[in-house]
Structure 1
Amino acid sequence: MLFINTRPADRAQPLTEHLTKAGFQVLTLPLLELRPCTYGEQLQQLYTELMTVQMIVVVSPTAVRLGMQYLQHSGIPLSRLSHVQWIAVGKATAGVLAEYGVQGQVPEVESSEGMLSLPVFSSDPALNKVAFWRGLGGRQFMMQQCLERHISVLNFILYERALPLRAMTQFAVLKEMAVQNRQSFWMCISSEAGWTNWRQLCEHDHDILQQGHYLVLGERLYQLLQQDKKNSGFCFNISKILSLEPQSVSQVIACLQGKQ
């Protein structure tokens, strides 16, 4: 059974190792590459306002590292943020926060919806300003939900997300495998940007697109793929997952295979 590991290069190895031990053939094909933004006047101004927030939402390990790097560059000691509640999108992000001595709350579902479901968003009447450490284009839904709840947002764009150059090379490998074997595959989709990039890669290879069984993180992204499938007239399988943890991914696949 073939699994396409679309995780960023610096986070792909644990899932690849776990699934390989479980008997999968794994092809690494990262759909996103994170490129740091320059620390300029806009970020400098945002950091001067950071002490006024009650919460910082951190959306990836890269956001943690860049956010802390730029915090130091701004001259603000981390101790000045002792009053802040930190929210991490997942365990990996929380783990990097812990390296800086910061404890972050982690939602059960590692998505915007999961973070919004945390009690702190509904139980803290003093919550009126939230900072987002994120990449360009990410977490738009969550920020909009905050604004609709009359919570001000400080929008820290720390990196850009792009389709890695190596993705084209790896996609050529996948095309060759598909032509030879007509092989179906499993793939995790964890963001709208990742799905957009995958659709771009498959622009002239719809047969490959339709050979995938897509494990989609969260309800909103699941509905997005369902709508895309309906609008395009394509035929492919979609299932929801709650976590990108290797054990969780393999358990979902085993369960779905048992139902086939």
Structure 2
Amino acid sequence: MILLNTRPVERAHSLTQIFIHDDIEVIELPLLELTALPYSADLAQLYRQLSDTQVIVVVSPTAVDVGMQYLQASQIEMSSLANVQWIAVGQATAQRLKDYGISASIPEVETSEGMLQLPILQNLALRQVAFWRGLGGRQFMMESLQQQGIHILNFVLYQRRCPQTAIEQFQQLSSRLQTTIEPVYVCISSEASWLNWMKLCENNPEILSKCQYLTLGERLTQLLQHQQITGVQQLESLNPQSIRNFLLKQKGTA
């Protein structure tokens, strides 16, 4: 059994390490690379509105680091945000916020849908929510809140792209992935990573169709199914132990 660990470099290690004593080969193939966008006048204007914001949604550890860096650049004291409630998309993001002394709510399912179910966002008096995010991310969640009449402060702090190293590594792997008789599982944690995977496979459709996909959350699972992708298994969490338990179960029943 082969697992393609497609998490960004800074988040891949814990998933790789948990399989170290198992008969499962883990190949790190990051499909997303996160790079900060420059601090700008538009961001400075958004930061000045944060004190009137009730909730800040933070979607990744990178968003925490860049967001805090630019908060300091805006000369805004954390004390002015004392009444703000924070939402982290998952455990890793919550831990990074904790490093800055911030306690955050975390959804049971680490997706936009999971966050929308949090009681904080069910508050009928909610007026304004800020998003610390990457370019192109969390559109569904922001649109859902806007439809409820909530004003969105849209902090685009970084961009996501497919690393050049992944393109080169996939070219080296492609012949093996085409010919192996072992089951190949691919971790797909976002729509952006899925689009990058499809781009890598555009000249190797047989690889796209033969792999099994571990998808995070219902909406991402449905996206693949609507594209006639078979072999899709839905994850409720990116917790490495949960993924390990799932794959060991599959290996035992293969």
Q: TM-score, normalised by structure 1?
A: 0.94
Instruction: Give the structure 2 partner of residue 56 of structure 1.
Output: 56
| Identity value in percent | 49
Residues 1:104 and 2:132 are matched in the alignment: no
Deviations 1:24-46 (A, max 9, x none): 11111100001110001110100
1:156 is aligned to 2:150:
no
Which letter maps to 2:20? T
TM-aligned CA deviation for residue 256 of structure 1: 3.9
For residues 2 and 223 of structure 2, what CA distance do their matches in structure 1 show?
Answer: 24
Q: Which residue of 2 aligns with 1:136?
A: 135
Question: What RMSD in Å do the two structures reach over aligned CA positions?
Answer: 1.3
Distance 1:182 1:172 in 2: 19
Q: Match of 2:234?
A: 240
Which has the higher mean CA deviation after the structures are superposed, 2-11 or 244-253? 244-253
2-structure distance, mates of 1:180, 1:204 = 15
Determine if contact 2:32/2:161 at 8 Å carries over to the other structure.
yes
What SS does structure 2 have at the residue aligned with 1:143? Answer: helix
Pick aligned residue for 2:246 from 245, 252, 257: 252
Residues 177 and 183, structure 1, Cα contact 8 Å, conserved in 2: no
Shift of 1:180: 4.4
CA distance in structure 1 between the aligned counterparts of 2:179 and 2:117, rounded to whole angstroms: 45
State the Cα distance separating 1:121 from its structure 2 match. 1.3
Displacement of 1:174 in angstroms is 2.0
AA at the equivalent of 1:139: R
Distance 1:255 1:22 in 2: 12
Does the 8 A contact of 1:56 with 1:131 survive in 2? yes
> Contact conserved, 1:4 with 1:185, CA < 8 A, in 2?
yes
Provide the secondary structure at the position in 1 that maps to 2:152: strand
- 1:36 counterpart residue number: 36
Taking the TM superposition and a 5 Å limit, the aligned residue runs for 1:1-260 are 1-122=1-122, 124-229=123-228, 236-258=230-252, 260=254
Q: Distance between the aligned counterparts of 1:12 and 1:142, measured in 2?
A: 25
Structure 1 position 127, deviation (Å):
1.1
AA matched with 1:91: Q
Please list the CA deviations of residues 94-127 of structure 1 after superposition, one character each: whole Å capped at 9, or x if unmatched. 00000000001110100000000111111x2321
Superposed CA deviations along residues 218-246 of structure 1, whole A, max 9, x for unmatched, are 111111110112xxxxx530010011110
Give the deviation of 1:186 after TM superposition: 0.8
The 2-side partners of 1:174 and 1:182 are apart by 14
User: CA contact under 8 A between 1:56 and 1:85: conserved in structure 2?
Assistant: yes
Distance 1:9 1:29 in 2: 9
In the alignment, the residues of structure 1 paired with residue 179 and residue 248 of structure 2 have an alpha-carbon distance, to the nearest angstrom, of: 26
Rounded Cα–Cα distance in structure 1 between residues aligned with 2:125 and 2:44: 26
Q: Does structure 2 retain, via aligned residues, the 8 Å contact 1:241–1:252?
A: no
Which is worse superposed, 131-140 or 176-185? Answer: 176-185
Which runs of 5 or more residues in structure 2 are unaligned?
Answer: none
1:213 to 1:80, Cα distance in 2 relative to 1, 3 A: same
Aligned-pair CA distance for 1:169: 1.8
